Amino acid sequence: MHQDTEKANPKQSMYAAALIGVGVMAAVDEIIFHQVLAWHHFYDRSTPKIGLLTDGILHSAELIAIVAGFFMLLDLRRSHSIVKPRAWAGFFLGLGGFQLFDGLIDHKVLRLHQIRYVDNTLPYDIAWNLAALILLFLGLLLLNRAKNLERKEGTGHLGTSGR
């Protein structure tokens, strides 16, 4: 038998929301840049058919991340252990973390695809990675604020739901 713990869980709140952030940013990337603008596929070093297949795999992974993250948050909410300020920090860290990973690792290190296939990709790379850094910075600001509030209150229940 499982009982509600009534104990705040800041790390799990952050991890669950970060998973949602990763999934949401992957969805934004895939919908806008892969489908609407048709600038690239997840893997562009093969045939268009393989490109579409890899887009489908990315779409499946993003949906799994979003659903898993929401189930984790719902479980935290049910047990009255969600810490909302940490969850918001995690969400923005997930958004920025995915975008920076995509911009540096997928685009430059692994060369799976480029943002857009033009002669000079530098403006696109700067905009892409700058947006990622802004999201990460917001996440770090929110995390710092959450930690300061937790220290100030001296409790682990700040920002929990279900009370």
At 6-21, the pLDDT tens digits run 689 999 999 999 999 9
pLDDT of the residue at 155: 56
Determine the Cα–Cα distance for residues 28 and 78; give it in Å rounded to an integer.
29
Q: At what angle do helices 84-101 and 122-153 cross, to 10 degrees?
A: 160
Q: What is the pTM of this model?
A: 0.89
Distances (CA, A) of 116 to 10, 54, 122, 138: 39, 17, 10, 26
Determine the Cα–Cα distance for residues 140 and 136; give it in Å rounded to an integer.
6
User: For 5, phi and psi rounded to 5 degrees?
Assistant: -85, -25
pLDDT at 2 over 50: no
pLDDT class for 76, splitting at 50, 70, 90? very high
pLDDT at 107 over 50: yes
Q: Which residue has the tokens 């047990």?
A: 79
pLDDT of the residue at 158: 46
Q: Which two tokens stand for residue 103?
A: 């911009």
Task: Give yes or no for a contact between 29 and 103, defined as CB atoms under 8 angstroms apart.
Answer: no
Cα-Cα end-to-end distance for the chain: 22
pLDDT class for 62, splitting at 50, 70, 90? very high
